[in-house]
A and B are shown apart, each in its own frame.
Chain A
C-alpha cells in the first residue's frame, strides 16, 4: 500500500479530514502522520529554517524534516493548508520546495475549504499514487509496438496511434457523448494510421472520461492526466532527462507539473474557473469573428497593454474586451489581451505552486493558440516550447506508457 504522509494544518477543523481519507482510500493509499517529538516541534526553526505562530504548521514542518531524514517513512507527501491563510500558504510552499529539493518523494500541494470533497481530490491523489507506485513504468522513454491512446477531455476527445516510437495517426472531435466521441476520435486516428482496431496491441485512456471509455474499449491502461501529460510532454519535447515544467491549460482545469526525468515531482491542478481556460479564448474568438485557430496568430500582432482588462472572470473579462472593441481597440490587441489574461491567471494562481524550470513545455489544444505561449513567455521571462502534436499530449503519453504494459 502506498503511504502518503499528510502534512497539514486545518483539515480536521474544516470537517474535510474524512474527505482526504476517502480520496486516499479510493486510490488504495494510506494516510500517515510521521512521528515527531515535542522537541522536534519546538526546535523546528533549527531543523527547517523557520518557526511560525501557528503550532500545527510547525508540526507539519517538523514532520517534513523527519521524512527528509528518513525517506523510507513515506512514498508520497500531501501538503494541505486552509485556503486564504497566508501563513499556511507560505509554509505549504516551503514544505513543498524542501521535500522536492531534499528527496525524490513526490509532493502534492493543496489548499482546501470546507467545500473540498474526495471527488475534487481524486485525480490529484491518483496521480500522486501513480507517481509513487509506478516509477519503473514512468521511466519508460520509448514507445514500442503498435499502441493507441484516447484522451477523453471535457471539451474535446483526442486519439493517436503510435508505432515504434512514432505517431502514425491522429483523430480529434469535440466531446459530446463521451463514448460516442471516443469512438469517433479513435476511428479517425486508426483510419489516418491505416491500421485496424484489432491490430492495436494496447490502448491507454486518460482525461475526464477515462474510466468509462477505458471500460468500453478494454483499455490496458486507464490513467489520470497528470502522469500521462508529463510523459507525453517530455517525450514530444525530447526532454526526457533532467528537469522540465509542463503547463496544460485545458477546457475545465489547468495543470502545472514540475517534472524530473519524465516523472512528475510537484504538481497543481487548478480549479474550475472558465476565465483561466480555453473557453475564454473560444469566447474571445467568437466575439472577434475569427476562428479559434486564427486567434493565436492575430494575437501575436497585438499588444495586451492597449486593452484594459478589469477582471479575469469570463463574464466581466469578456465585458472588458467588448468595451475595448466599442472604444476602438484593434482586434489583435484584444486577442492578445485575452491570451495575456488567461496566462496571467495561470501564472499567478498555479505556477507559484511548482518549481518552474526550463524547458517549459506548453501542451494541450490551447498551446496552439500562439498568443498564449507568447504571453506565458513574457510573464515567466523564459522560453516556452510547444511540441509537435501538443494537442494530443495525453494520448501520446497514454500510448507510450501502455506499450510498457504490453511488453510485460
Chain B
C-alpha cells in the first residue's frame, strides 16, 4: 500500500479511485480531523490557530501571506508523507483549503520537485476522456506497488 497524495486534496473522485485500488489516499479532511478533534484548541471553525501560519514558515517565507502559510501548515506535512501523487490540472473550482491559488501553485510545485511518482491530468469532459482518465489512474496506481 502506497500513500498517494491527491490534489486537490479535497477531491472525492481521486481519493475514491486511489482507495479502490487498495492504496491510502492522503486527503486534507484527515488533517482537518486531527485539528478539530484536538482537545483544548478553541479556534473555530477549523481549529487553526495563529501558530499554524508560523508552522507554515517551513514552506514559505514570512513575506508570503498568512493564508498561504496557514494552508501550508495543513498541506505541507501531507506532501512530506506522500509516496506518490495524482494532481488535477486546470480545475477552476477550488475553494476552502484549495481556495488560494498561490497555495495551490506552491503545493503542486513541492509535489513535482519531490521526485515521487506523479500523475497529472485534467478532469474529463466527455465519456471518452472519462475512460482514459480512469484507465490512466488505474495504470498509475497498479504501477506503484
A contacting B, Cβ–Cβ less than 8 Å: yes
Known A-B contacts A15-B52, A38-B93, A56-B96; the reply to A112 vs B44 at CB < 8 A is: no
Check A10 against B66 for contact (C-beta < 8 Å): yes
A186 to chain B, nearest CB (A): 40
Check A14 against B67 for contact (C-beta < 8 Å): yes
CB neighbors of B among A81-96 (8 A): 81-85, 87-88
B44 to chain A, nearest CB (A): 6
A44 to chain B, nearest CB (A): 10
Chain B residues whose CB sits within 8 angstroms of the CB of A41 once the complex forms: 93, 95
Chain A residues whose CB sits within 8 angstroms of the CB of B74 once the complex forms: 13
A127 in contact (CB, < 8 A) = no
A315 in contact (CB, < 8 A) = no
CB neighbors of B among A5-35 (8 A): 9-18, 21
0/1 per residue, B50-83, Cβ < 8 Å to A?
Answer: 1111100000000111111111001000000000
Complex: how many Å from CA A21 to CA B46? 13
B29 in contact (CB, < 8 A) = no
A10 partner, pick from B42, B70, B92, beta carbons under 8 A: B70
Stretch among B16-24, B98-106, B125-133 lining the A interface: B98-106
Chain A residues whose CB sits within 8 angstroms of the CB of B54 once the complex forms: 114
Chain B residues whose CB sits within 8 angstroms of the CB of A83 once the complex forms: 65-66
Chain A residues whose CB sits within 8 angstroms of the CB of B94 once the complex forms: 54-55
Known A-B contacts A17-B44, A18-B42, A112-B66; the reply to A54 vs B50 at CB < 8 A is: no
A53 in contact (CB, < 8 A) = yes
A114 partner, pick from B44, B66, B100, beta carbons under 8 A: B66
A192 in contact (CB, < 8 A) = no
Check B52 against A13 for contact (C-beta < 8 Å): yes
B48 in contact (CB, < 8 A) = yes
Chain B residues whose CB sits within 8 angstroms of the CB of A112 once the complex forms: 66
Complex: how many Å from CA A52 to CA B92? 9
B71 to chain A, nearest CB (A): 5
Known A-B contacts A59-B95, A85-B67; the reply to A13 vs B46 at CB < 8 A is: yes
B45 in contact (CB, < 8 A) = yes
Chain B residues whose CB sits within 8 angstroms of the CB of A50 once the complex forms: none
CB neighbors of B among A206-254 (8 A): none
Complex: how many Å from CA A42 to CA B95? 11
B11 in contact (CB, < 8 A) = no
Number of inter-chain CB pairs below 8 Å: 108
Chain B residues whose CB sits within 8 angstroms of the CB of A59 once the complex forms: 95, 99
The size class of the interface chain B forms with chain A is 20 to 34
Check B53 against A87 for contact (C-beta < 8 Å): no
A113 in contact (CB, < 8 A) = yes
Known A-B contacts A38-B93, A82-B66; the reply to A15 vs B101 at CB < 8 A is: no
Chain B residues whose CB sits within 8 angstroms of the CB of A87 once the complex forms: 101-102
**Chain A residue nearest in CB terms to B99:** A56
Check B102 against A54 for contact (C-beta < 8 Å): yes
A195 to chain B, nearest CB (A): 50
Chain B residues whose CB sits within 8 angstroms of the CB of A196 once the complex forms: none
Check B44 against A18 for contact (C-beta < 8 Å): yes
B107 to chain A, nearest CB (A): 13
Known A-B contacts A10-B66, A15-B52, A114-B54; the reply to A54 vs B99 at CB < 8 A is: yes
A224 to chain B, nearest CB (A): 25
Check A114 against B45 for contact (C-beta < 8 Å): no
B70 partner, pick from A14, A52, A57, beta carbons under 8 A: A14
A14 to chain B, nearest CB (A): 4
A9 to chain B, nearest CB (A): 6
Check A56 against B95 for contact (C-beta < 8 Å): yes
Complex: how many Å from CA A12 to CA B66? 10
B109 to chain A, nearest CB (A): 15
Check A85 against B70 for contact (C-beta < 8 Å): no
Complex: how many Å from CA A52 to CA B68? 16
**Chain A residue nearest in CB terms to B70:** A13
A38 to chain B, nearest CB (A): 7
Chain B residues whose CB sits within 8 angstroms of the CB of A13 once the complex forms: 46, 48, 52-53, 66-67, 70-71, 74, 97, 100
Q: List 8 A-B contacts (CB under 8 A).
A: A12-B70, A15-B51, A21-B44, A41-B95, A54-B102, A55-B96, A56-B96, A85-B67
Residues of B within 8 A of A (CB): 42-46, 48-54, 63-71, 74, 92-102
Given contact pairs A54-B101, A59-B95, A85-B102, a sample of 4 additional A-B residue pairs in the complex whose CB atoms are under 8 Å apart:
A18-B43, A54-B100, A87-B102, A114-B66
Closest 7 pairs (CB-CB, A-B): A10-B67, A56-B99, A82-B65, A13-B70, A53-B101, A14-B66, A55-B94
